[in-house]
Chain A
Amino acid sequence: MDIMSKATPKLGVVISYTAIILLGGAQNAAANGCPVTQAVVVSNAGSQSAKGSLSQAFVVPPAYEQVSGRIRFLSNEWPQYFGTEYNDTYLARLTAPGKVEIIASGNVNSSSWSSGLLGYNGATPEIRYNTDLSGLVGQTVQLAYEVQDVGDTIVDSALAIDAVQVIRTDQFVPVAGQGGALTGASTISGSFGQAVKLTFTNQNILGTTISVKDASPFGQTKESIILPQQSVTFTFVAFGEEPMGWDFEVSTNSDAFVVSYGVESTWTEGMPQNPCY
């Protein structure tokens, strides 16, 4: 009974509320000369459907390098059912023949929560994701987002998905004055664009682990193994006006760590400011 009382459908509220606000957002973007983009909310609302999903399959054109975006998990299971078996989940994945990558995953209990929006009791912070398409040119790729019920089909959750960005190879330019060698934990900082590509080459005769953390509040951490004289590239994406400040914390689990690195970005000194994201 208590669960039923929490299960007030919010979708109608969402639709009417957003219909009013929609025009305002469009006008803001248009005023900056930026493309007018929207977001999508996928929910597991309704007792008949334990799953909501949004997906697109497409052939990867030449020079596509990355898709990136951000999501927020929304739920009515927070705060009352936090820590219980009523623990709805979300998942974002990229699949292609020969490749499967879990881009993001989580549930009510694994998430940190702040006050709700769109009629949901709670909302997570932004969760950024980006994934590499450069090795998949000519292949069919599917990008899918899902939210699923766990434990009940009564109390609803949702996944908010922002406009997806496609970053092409030719958008990256080398950043002059950046790059060098690292022999231990270090920080790489600078004013870059919305997408930053860090390439590390292992200059040691031993293999090493490497971890790079985007130090911003919603930043991602990326890890890899680099064998001697081999390279690894990490791409980070944020959403905001270009240029923007970035801090990357580089660390390793290995004793031997001698790497050189270079930086490419979608914005560098001399380029005009870009208000669109």
Chain B
Amino acid sequence: MLRLFVLFTSLITISLTSLQAHASNNGTAACETLSEPFKQLATMTLDPAVGNPPKVALCHRVANAEKHYAKQANDKAIQELDKYIASISKRNGKFVEESYAAALISEAERVISVISGDFEPETMTINGGVFGFNDKAPVSGATVSVSFIESGSTFTTTTDSDGLFSIEDLTEAGVYVVDVTTADGKTGTAQGSLLETENTSSVLVTVDLAGSGAIYGTVYDEAGFPVPSALVTAIFPDTDRKYSAISTSDGSFTLTNVHGDGTLILVGFNNDTGASGSTTGVLSSFASQITRNVTITAPQTVNPEFLNAGFENGLEGWSTEGSVTIVDRNLIFTTPDSGN
């Protein structure tokens, strides 16, 4: 009799567990592939920072809003989002961390404004300064061209008497390349990042007489396909010169006017995926033109948060290549910092 009871309860437990898993999967699946303008809100709702409950219920609110929106029932879509906001507000930090709850509500309000036609994208600004490479003096009257690597949008301005420039009223964000040409023929490039969440970006560019070197190559992804619109930056640590360019439609790139400053590190980056990679090379007076291809890869494993920061669990959570060894930090880092 006892065995029968144990068997019966076990069967019930197994059934309930699988039902629970099924329900959970269905719940989150509802908002995993939503289109704009709901995509970001759905992604944020699925974040581990949102507990369950209310994750599944919130997820359904967003999915329902999208369905109503697709049928042009905008009022019903907004009602769903209002309920979404109310649901978060009444929990007052419970199950959803307060700062994250505010971010969810802000994004939901943005979606409502898009649906209702009231949305006015917040504009952003890139501030910059142009200085001589050797004397660090401000360069006035320089022509500045800022190009976003993904869209190709380009904006042009000139520096003021203090060598400063500003490009305002931008409605797109992302990684950009700055090209500068001065009246006396000096050139310089730099790269920067403009985040929607921060509204402004600051970039410093140094200019110098053009070098005679050039770096050619192609950016490839991990499957070996060329990557167009990728950022390529060459760093010369010996002199701290940097050069940036954007790959063309066939993935190829050219960095010109480069000084042969010796060893270089070439970094490739895809703005859309965040994939990146690097290689090295040497550009000298003996070899003033080189070809280097860069392969960029997206992360294979993504942790839900930063894990094992102190290597207390060995290399768990980290990806490695080549020889990697855990070492007592006191062997290498001997501080408290003596200088402070």
* A interface list, Cβ under 8 A from B: 11, 14-15, 18, 21-22, 24-26, 28, 35-46, 49, 51-64, 67, 70, 72, 85, 87, 89, 91, 93, 95-102, 105-107, 109-110, 117-118, 123, 126, 134-138, 140-144, 146, 148-151, 160, 162-166, 169, 206-209, 215-219, 223-227, 230, 232, 238-241, 244-246, 253-256, 277
Interface-centre pick from B174, B238, B327 (highest chain A CB count, 10 A): B327
Contact A42 B235 (CB under 8 A): no
Which A residues lie within 8 Å of B269 (CB)?
95, 100
Per the bound structure, the CA–CA distance linking A24 and B331 in Å amounts to 10
Residue A58 contacts which of B164, B306, B310, B337 (CB distance < 8 angstroms)?
B306
Contact A49 B332 (CB under 8 A): no
Interface-centre pick from A35, A36, A40, A218 (highest chain B CB count, 10 A): A40
Which B residues lie within 8 Å of A62 (CB)?
49, 97, 99-100, 103
The SS class assigned to the A binding surface is mixed
Which A residues lie within 8 Å of B48 (CB)?
59, 61
Contact B322 A207 (CB under 8 A): no
**B191 in contact (CB, < 8 A):** yes
Q: How many residues of B contact A (CB 8 A)?
A: 95
**B90 in contact (CB, < 8 A):** no
Which B residues lie within 8 Å of A246 (CB)?
340
Task: Count A-B pairs with CB separation below 8 Å.
Answer: 339
Given contacts A106-B237, A117-B332, contact A148 B339 (CB under 8 A): no
Given contacts A22-B328, A37-B311, A49-B323, contact A58 B303 (CB under 8 A): yes
Contacting A at CB under 8 A, from B142-176, are 160, 162-164, 166, 173-175
Which B residues lie within 8 Å of A72 (CB)?
332-333
Contact B237 A51 (CB under 8 A): no
B107 and chain A: residue at smallest CB distance: A138
**B43 in contact (CB, < 8 A):** yes
Interface-centre pick from B203, B231, B238, B324 (highest chain A CB count, 10 A): B324
23 A-B interface contacts by CB (under 8 A): A18-B327, A25-B328, A25-B331, A39-B311, A44-B322, A45-B323, A52-B320, A53-B320, A54-B320, A70-B333, A85-B282, A87-B282, A95-B276, A98-B193, A99-B274, A100-B231, A107-B263, A110-B237, A135-B195, A142-B299, A160-B327, A164-B310, A209-B138
